[in-house]
Chain A
Amino acid sequence: MSAPDAPLDWVELSGRRAKGRRPDYFDNPALDRLYSTVFALAAEVSALRERQDTIERLLDAKGTLSRADIEAYEPDRAAGEERGLATRAYVARIMRGFQQEVEALEASDPPIMDVVERLSRE
C-alpha cells in the first residue's frame, strides 16, 4: 500500500493479482499465458474497431472532428445496436474455432479415413 500522498503508478497497480491460487487449465503453462495475451489483444482490436466506427460516424455527421468529439461520443439507440451487432459478428469471427468444435461435438463425425476407405469400396 502506498503512502497517502505519493502519486500512484496506476498502470503497475492495475495488474495486481487476486489472492488465491489460479487453476492451471492446460498441461503446458505456455498455453495459459498465451490465452491471456490473445484475448486481451482481442479486446484491444474490438476497442479499435469501435473507435474507428466512432470516427466514421462523426465524420459522416460533421465532416470534421476532434479528439474531444471522439471521447464525448455516445451512440444513440440505433447506432448502439449497429455497433453491438458488429461486435457480436467480430466475436463470432475470432471464436470460430471454439464454436465449430461445439458443432463437431454435436455431429460426432467419423475420422476422414473412414470415409476415404468407404468411398474406395462403395
Chain B
Amino acid sequence: MAKDLPPPYTALTRHEMMPRVTHDEAARFNFLTHFNRYLSGTIGAGNKLAYEKRVLPAFRAEHGRDPEHRYEVRDAMNRDAWHRMWSALKRNSMEMRQHFGRQVVLRQLDELDAMARQYNEHSGQLELDPAIEQPHYQTAVDIHCQPGGYHGEERPGDVTVGANYDVGLFATTGGALGGLNDGGGQAVVNWVKAERPDWSPKRILDIGCTIGHNAVPIAQAFPDAEVIAIDTAAASLRYGAARAAAMGVRNIRFVQASGEDLARWTDGHFDWVQTTMFLHELSTKAMPRILAEAHRVLAPGGLILHIEQPQYSDAMPLFEQFMRDWDAFNNNEPFWSAMHGQDLKQVMADAGFPQDAQFVAGVRAVVDPAIFPPSPDEGKEDYGRAAIWNAYGAWKPLAAETQVAA
C-alpha cells in the first residue's frame, strides 16, 4: 500500500537555490501529486473504456471501417463526454501547477534573483549571449502551458521561469523523478556505466539543458569531464547555473547557444552529445539541423544519446498513440505529435549516424527507493508521463569503420 503513495513535497532535496515553500504551498503540491496520479491511474481507464464501448463502435457505424490514424481517434474522442471531462481535469491540474509554482517563486523573487546573481558572478559557470534568440518553435505558444515559456522574463535578468520549473516538476511527475528531479540523468549515467564501464569521456555537450536537472548528474558522475550545457533561454540558464553552483557541482558550464549553430566548437570536439526530453520541442526543420551539428562536433568513437518517450510505430495501437498525443493539443507541445511520428532512426542516419551504429535502449528513472517510490507504471500506463523512456543513440563510427561501411 505505502509504495503506491507519492512522497510528500518536503522529501525533495532543498538545495540553496530552491525557492522556499510555506507549509500550505507544499501541501498544494501534495494535492497535485495525488490528483495527477488519480487522473492517470484510478480514472484514466475511462478513456479506453469510452473508446472501446462507444466511440469506436460509433466510428465503425459511421465510416464502415476502423480509424486509420491517431488524428481520427482524436476527432472522435474529442466528441466524447467522458474524454472531455477527463481532459478538462487534466488541463486544470497543469494550470494549477503553474499558478501555484508562480506564486511560490514570485513572492520571493527579489531574494532568488539576488542569490542567483551572486552565485553566477562568483562561479564563472554562466555564459550568456544576448545575440541568441529563443527560436520560433519555442515562442509560438508557451510550452507545457508554462507562462513565459523557458525564456520569458518578469523583469530584466530574473529567474522566474527556471525557478518555477524546478519547484513544480515534482507535482507533474508525481514525485517519480527523485529528490533533485534528476532521475532521468541518473538513468543515463547508469546506462553508460553499465554499457562502457571503462569509458571516461572528457568533453560532454548537453543540448537544451533548461535548468540542468539531467545534465548535473552527468557532471557529478564524471568529475574529470567538463560538461557544457547549452540552451537558448537565458532565463532558464541563469537559474540552472546558480543551482549547479549551489549544489557544489563545478565541472559544468551553462552557455547560451543554439543547437542549430555549434560553430564555436570544432569538428569532433566532444566525446558525448546528450539531449534529454529535448527533440520533441523543436520543429521539422530544426531537428535535422541540430542532429547534423551534433554529428559534426562529436568525435569518432563518441556517444550521442537522446532520451525521449517512445516513437510511434505501426506496432503501437492507434488508441495509445492518441493518448500519448494528449499533451500536443492540450498542454502546448506543438511538435510532439509530428516528432513522435517520425522514423528517428532514419532522421539520425540522415544526420550522419549509420543505421548499424544506432541502438535503442529502455531506461527508467533512478531514484532513491528509500524516499521515492518507483514510478507507478505496472498496469497503470500513464501514456507519456511515467518515468520510463527510450534512449535513442549511436556510437559514432571511427573513420576506418565508416570507410568499410561506405
Contact = CB atoms under 8 A, between A and B. Distances in A.
Interface stretch (B102-110, B301-309, B313-321, B359-367): B102-110
Contacts of B89: 35, 39, 98
A32 B95 CA distance: 13
A81 interface: yes
Interface of B: 1-2, 4-8, 10-11, 22-24, 27-28, 30-32, 34-35, 38, 42-43, 45-46, 49-50, 53, 82, 84-89, 91-93, 95-96, 98-100, 102-103, 106-107, 109, 139-142, 144-149, 153-157, 329-330, 332
Contacts of B85: 25, 98
A19 B30 contact: no
A56 to B, nearest CB: 14
Contact of A2 (B30, B31, B154): B154
Contact of A98 (B22, B43, B139): B43
Interface of A: 1-4, 6, 8, 10-11, 13-20, 22-23, 25-26, 31-32, 35-36, 39-40, 42-44, 46-48, 50-51, 54, 70-71, 73-75, 80-81, 83-85, 87-88, 91-92, 95, 98-99, 101-102, 105-106, 108
A34 to B, nearest CB: 10
A32 B8 contact: no
B88 A32 contact: yes
B109 A8 contact: yes
17 contacts: A16-B102, A18-B98, A19-B149, A25-B85, A25-B91, A39-B92, A42-B31, A42-B35, A44-B28, A71-B23, A81-B2, A84-B30, A85-B1, A91-B31, A98-B89, A102-B43, A108-B53
Contacts of B153: 1
Q: Which interface residue of B43, B144, B329 has the most chain A CB atoms within 10 A?
A: B43
Nearest to A34: B88
B156 A88 contact: no
Nearest to B90: A25
A36 B43 contact: no
Given A25-B91, A84-B34, A20 B96 contact: no
A43 B148 contact: no
Q: Which interface residue of B1, B35, B107, B141 has the most chain A CB atoms within 10 A?
A: B35
A5 to B, nearest CB: 9
Nearest to A71: B23
Given A18-B147, A19-B141, A105-B46, A84 B6 contact: yes
A87 B31 contact: yes
